[in-house]
Structures are given as C-alpha cells and as structure tokens.
Structure 1
C-alpha cells in the first residue's frame, strides 16, 4: 500500500478510490491520518504504526467526516483524536456509521474492531489554530466546501500539508457543502503555500506531489472548475457543462459527481 515515504511521513493508498492514509512519525508521537477502507488495509496501517511507533502516544487526525475517512477509528482505541469542532458535533453521526455498516454488509466484510463515530480530544475551532505535539507544531486551517467540517493541516518544519479531499490530481471538486466555501478554501490554500514551506502535499484521493508548481496548479484547476461550472449553469449551457469532464479518469463514476455538483450549485443559485 505504501506509495510515498520519507524520513517523517509514509503514505498508504487504498485499492478503492485511490484513498490515502498517512502515518507521520515525530520525535515523541505518531500521527495517523484517515486510516481507511478494506479491513486488511486498515490492519496493514495498524501493524505499521505498531512497528514504527516505539510505544509513543498515537494521535488520530481526521480531515473531515466522510464515512470512508473515519471508518478506521476503532482500530486505534488508545489514540487521542484531533478533528474539527464541527466534525465532533456532527448532527448525524449514526447515519455515517450506518454508511460504513452498509458498505461492509454489501461486500461481506468483517472487521476486528468496533465501528463507531470519532470522539475528538483536541478540537479545531479556529482558522490558523496551532497545536504543539512534543517539539512539533501543527497549524490547522478550516476548510469548508467539500464538507462543512473539513480541516487542512500543515506540519512544520517538515513541510507536510494534509489536504483532505482537496487538491486531488484525479478528482475534480466534489461539492457536498458549498461551492462558494470551496472556492474560498482554495484561495486560502494559495496563502498557505505562501506562508509555509510546503514540500509534500497529500490529497485524500490520488497522488501526493512534492512539486510546488503542481500544488498551485491543482488549486487553480479546482477554482476554475467551480467558477466555470457556475457560469455555464447561469447561462444554461448544458452541452458545454457535459463536455467539461471529457477525458476524466473513471468517467462513469465521475459523471455522477459532476451531476451532483450541478444540483448543488443550482440549489445555491435558487434555480431549482
């Protein structure tokens, strides 16, 4: 599962949706980010943490509340959880757990841990909030748009940015919460790149990048997709809208998300 590794971070990638999970080994603790998907994949991540963790405290960092990103929570019962305040106070946590159980039932999957919704120990409530873990400083940026409870995390001085379901090289924006918030989050990430020396960007789905120009390109492409889609919806250019995703990978599935984005933006524009 390992697709990228340096002296501090190991990035695992699931066979499903190119979903990433990261393990960051610091001087006094281990941070596990969104451990996920198939039971044997979660087990591989857990085994790796046990191997490299040296018995240090474990922190689970959840980038947002989508069920595919929180389903490994129960595999780390001793960990302290870092998440946004909005994730912690999600209005329908039982519904998210039910989505996990429905997935496991559909594919006859069994897990050796309890399925439950995360309870946060460290709540991120403010933009730019910082948390000191041992000698390492983490800076968190509120990142609504995909969901309303997302956070982007920067780990200095390692130069790591954990982007959650943003900045993917295989997915255009999936807008579950607000297209305007999504654009604002992307604009904020440009500022994050200027403020921090980011050397590794980890998206929730797709491939990591260590190229600074590629990071900026991914942000710009996300903004362009939303602004272009919104304008064509206003003008009623459905043929052009349909053509926007020509050539995307996995087109049969991507089309569904493109359609969902249109419905979301039409709702925001009060066109339906």
Structure 2
C-alpha cells in the first residue's frame, strides 16, 4: 500500500517487516527502489510506475542484496540496475536466492517472473559517485555495517535520501557485517545531512520522515544502542546485554537471532 507521498516520491510499504519500496519521479527519469514483497504488492508498484512513466528512462536501485530487498528484481526487466560493488561481488548470491525460494515454497507463492540475483548496469564503487540524468543528480555513499554491500543514495534537487536498512523509526541496528563499519556509516549519515539539503529520509523498514530533527534523532538512537551494547559486551555485563535485547521491538526468534549476531560480531571486534 502507499504509505507516503511528497514531491515526486511515493513510498509503498509491505505487510511484511514494514519493508518499504520507493518510486521517485523526476522530469528526467523514474527510479524504483527495492520493489518487494508479495506478488500483489509488487504488481501495485508496477502499475503505478506504468501510469507515471510516459517514456522516461527507468532505473532500478537496490540498497543491498538481502533477499527481501531483491525479490522484485525481474518485475522491471527493462530497467537499468544500480547497486554497490559489494553487491555485484556478493559471495552468497545463491544463499539469498534460496531464501526467496524457501519463502515462496513455504507460503505457496507463485511469481510471474524468474527469481535471480540482480545483474548491475551501474556499479557504485566509491563515496560521492554520481549518476546525472538531465537535471536529476543521484549521489551515492557506500554504507557497510548492516551488510557489507549497503548503499545510501541522495536524489537532488528533490532532497530524497534512501538509506536502506539504516535509520528506521523502530528497528535497532542489525549487524550482519561489522559493528565498526556500522559506526562509520552513522558518521557518514551525519556527513550526508551536513552536505546535502535533505527533505525526506526513507528507511528500508518503517516510516519515512521529512523532519530533520527526527533524522538526527534516529542517527543518535542507533549510535546510543551500539555504544551501550559494545560497552556491555566489553565488560561482560550479561544483565545489560539481556536488557538491550529486550529493547528490540516485535520480539521474536528473528530478533533474538539478530541480537545474538550483534553480540558475536561485537565480541569479535572489541574483545
């Protein structure tokens, strides 16, 4: 369903994991970000894009290679595909595809297109790399930490910031790559706010925000959580580690696994 619309940005949100998919319409192009999850949800995005396209070039951006973000890749077969160098060289492509197939098999989901790992047309290798189409400028920043292949994208002049699985209004940091890299990405997030005029931030899960104070708050909340968890792991404060696990919303086996992974990675890097 459509969750948010403003100045050429339309954000769809899936019923699953509050996952967002964005469509950005400018005078020069249409950009689709992470189309997901269920076939009817992706069909809604396809129909919306078709109604807005009017012959414009279509681009498909993936914020990272997690299976819930790449599941709609072949729903837009004529799009030019954008992703990071880390995503292009992802060492576990088949594992991600197996997760999609496992989900579809478990829930009897049939899709009208093949499931494949995205092949990239534009590979982002460094911070500040840009795609310029007419008056539209996309500036990219590598954002490892959650995963090794994360990507921030700023779309100007509209001031849209696509953050992937960072800076959610409810999700605490999930570390599947590196705590140190995650902290560096938070510093990079502050740089993005200082360098660009950001009018709206769109996370991979949860609510977009057009309030700068809220954007800064989300950076601070992620920083605070990681600082406290790193401190608890380093001091072997078991009670504090348990308390921090309870701060994760939507308590489940999944959040428990994510917390244990967070602790494992921090222990490897900080003890």
User: What TM-score do the two structures reach when normalised by structure 2?
Assistant: 0.97
Q: Which residue of structure 2 lines up, in the alignment, with residue 111 of structure 1?
A: 111
Give me the whole-angstrom Cα distance separating, in 2, the residues matched to 1:208 and 1:113. 29
Instruction: Give distance in 2, aligned partners of 1:217 and 1:143.
Output: 19
Worse-matched range after superposition: 92-101 or 36-45: 92-101
Q: 5+ residue gaps in structure 1?
A: none
The answer to whether 1:21 aligns with 2:21 is: yes
Query: For the residues of structure 2 that align with 1:267 and 1:95, how far apart are their CA atoms?
Result: 24
Between 118-127 and 84-93, the greater mean CA deviation after superposition: 84-93
User: Mean Cα displacement is larger for which, 56-65 or 248-257?
Assistant: 248-257
Secondary structure (helix, strand or coil) at the match of 1:244 reads helix
Question: 1:184-231: per-residue Cα shift (whole Å, max 9, x none)?
Answer: 000111011011110100000010011101101101111111111011
Moved over 6 A (4+): none
Q: CA RMSD in A?
A: 1.2
Q: Distance in 2 between matches of 1:199 and 1:242?
A: 37
SS of residue matched to 1:169: coil
SS of 1:175 mapped into structure 2:
coil
The CA distance in 2 between the partners of 1:144 and 1:54, in whole Å, is 36
1:228 matched to 2:263: no
Alignment partner, residue 188 of structure 1:
188
Corresponding residue number in structure 2 for 1:268: 269
Range 107-116 or range 130-139, more displaced:
130-139
1:98, distance to aligned residue in structure 2 (A): 1.3
Moved more, 51-60 or 105-114: 51-60
5 Å matches for 1:1-272?
Answer: 1-246=1-246, 248-252=248-252, 253-269=254-270
Mapped partners of 2:4, 2:173: distance in 1:
23
Note the C-alpha offset of 1:147. Answer: 0.5
Q: Please list the CA deviations of residues 27-59 of structure 1 after superposition, one character each: whole Å capped at 9, or x if unmatched.
A: 121000000111111111111101111121210
Shift of 1:265: 1.3
Structure 2 segments unaligned to the other structure (5+ residues): none
Query: Aligned equivalents of 1:248 and 1:142: distance in 2?
Result: 26
TM superposition score normalised by structure 1: 0.96
Q: Secondary structure at the match of 2:246?
A: coil
Tell me which moved more, 36-45 or 252-261. Answer: 252-261
Please report how far the alpha carbon of residue 256 of structure 1 lies from its aligned counterpart in structure 2 after TM superposition: 2.9
Q: Distance in 2 between matches of 1:119 and 1:133?
A: 21
Kept after mapping to 1: 8 A contact 2:7/2:158: no
Q: Secondary structure of the residue that 2:208 maps to in structure 1?
A: coil
CA distance in structure 1 between the aligned counterparts of 2:99 and 2:121, rounded to whole angstroms: 24
Residue deviations 1:212-271 (CA, integer Å, cap 9, x gap): 0110110111111111101111111111111124354212243332222112212223x5
